[in-house]
């Protein structure tokens, strides 16, 4: 053996071993960022002009104006309702969907169908889905709920489906061996293994839906977002700020609750 194999100098392999490829990627990447910054006219002149306007904008937002409280309250409650209904519907529908989207449980054509739905549901941002549903069903919370449930199903179908794919097959096999039928196998062999994940994702989903429900109102899909949009439109920045504060409080509250619940799930 040569002495080099006894050398005490050790270097970790580069992620990309070939130095030519590595340096090409680094140089090209840097060049692209410089080019891109130029292209979007990120210049100091515009920063200087914009800054006072932003400051003025913030001045007009304080103090927040809660005098339109009944309207704010109505919007908030509607958002909350939308989020709760959409979450409930989607966590129930997520069970068959994610079983369908799990390769180890599903059969071929159900799997492909479920996966196709998940891919489609995940590829549209909520705001785009909301625009489509508002066009189809008119203004109000109904298209909003559909929007939230649709995107939520994409989210749950993917993450819960993957959780199901990663379960221990031995436990499923043991339940099958007792003579349990397909449904009872899901109940005893699969459900206990993914239950903490399911509950965690459901709470997280409520969290996501609550945030989204405050935004999709901007395109007319109900909730507090519409009120926020109107306030900006009428230059009532103090009212807008009041609404923003309420949204922040709700989101933080939800964050708190969801971390508490998830903490309890070991």
Where does this chain bind other proteins (CB under 8 A)? 168, 170-171, 173-181, 183-184, 187-189, 192-193, 195-196
| Nearest to other proteins of 113, 180 (CB atom) | 180
Residue 8, classed as helix, strand or coil, is coil
| Nearest to other proteins of 80, 190 (CB atom) | 190
Alpha helices in the chain (DSSP H): 19-39, 44-61, 69-100, 108-123, 126-137, 141-165, 169-177, 182-185, 191-215, 224-233, 237-264
| Nearest to other proteins of 52, 179 (CB atom) | 179
Q: Whole-angstrom Cα distance, residue 241 to residue 142?
A: 26
Contact 221, 149 (CB under 8 A): no
How far CA 96 is from CA of 191, 202, 232, 255, in Å, comes to 12, 15, 42, 28
- Kindly state the smallest distance separating residue 178's Cβ from other proteins, in Å: 5
Tokens for 44?
């100091």
For 53, half-sphere exposure in the C-beta direction (CA atoms, 13 angstrom radius) is 5
Tokens for 139?
């203004």
- Kindly state the smallest distance separating residue 187's Cβ from other proteins, in Å: 6
- Kindly state the smallest distance separating residue 190's Cβ from other proteins, in Å: 10
| Nearest to other proteins of 88, 193 (CB atom) | 193
Residue pointed to by tokens 């998830």: 262
| Nearest to other proteins of 24, 178 (CB atom) | 178
Q: Whole-angstrom Cα distance, residue 221 to residue 146?
A: 9
- Kindly state the smallest distance separating residue 162's Cβ from other proteins, in Å: 18
- Kindly state the smallest distance separating residue 184's Cβ from other proteins, in Å: 5
Using alpha carbons, select from 92, 125, 133 the residue that is nearest to residue 212: 125
- Kindly state the smallest distance separating residue 91's Cβ from other proteins, in Å: 17
| Nearest to other proteins of 173, 255 (CB atom) | 173
């Amino acid at each position: 053996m040569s002495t080099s194999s006894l050398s005490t100098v050790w270097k970790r392999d580069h992620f990309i071993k070939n130095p030519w490829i590595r340096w090409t990627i680094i140089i090209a990447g840097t060049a692209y960022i410089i080019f891109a910054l130029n292209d979007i006219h990120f210049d100091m002149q515009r920063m200087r002009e914009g800054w006072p306007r932003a400051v003025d904008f913030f001045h007009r937002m304080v103090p927040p104006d809660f005098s339109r409280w009944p309207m704010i309250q109505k919007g908030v409650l509607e958002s909350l309702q939308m989020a709760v209904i959409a979450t409930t519907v989607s966590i129930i529908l997520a069970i068959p969907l994610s079983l369908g989207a799990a390769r180890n449980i599903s059969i071929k054509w159900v799997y492909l169908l479920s996966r196709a739905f998940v891919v489609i549901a995940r590829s549209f941002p909520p705001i785009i889905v909301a625009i489509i549903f508002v066009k189809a069903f008119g203004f109000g919370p109904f298209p909003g709920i559909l929007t939230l449930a649709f995107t939520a199903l994409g989210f749950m179908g993917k993450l819960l489906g993957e959780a199901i794919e990663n379960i221990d097959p031995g436990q499923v096999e043991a339940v099958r061996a007792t003579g349990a039928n397909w449904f009872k196998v899901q109940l005893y062999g699969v459900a206990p293994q993914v239950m903490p994940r399911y509950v965690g994702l459901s709470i997280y989903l409520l969290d996501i839906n609550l945030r989204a429900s405050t935004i999709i109102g901007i395109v007319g899909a109900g909730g507090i977002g519409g009120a926020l949009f109107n306030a900006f439109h009428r230059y009532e920045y103090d009212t807008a700020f009041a609404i923003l504060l309420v949204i922040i409080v709700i989101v933080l509250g939800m964050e708190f609750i969801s971390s508490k619940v998830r903490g309890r799930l070991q």
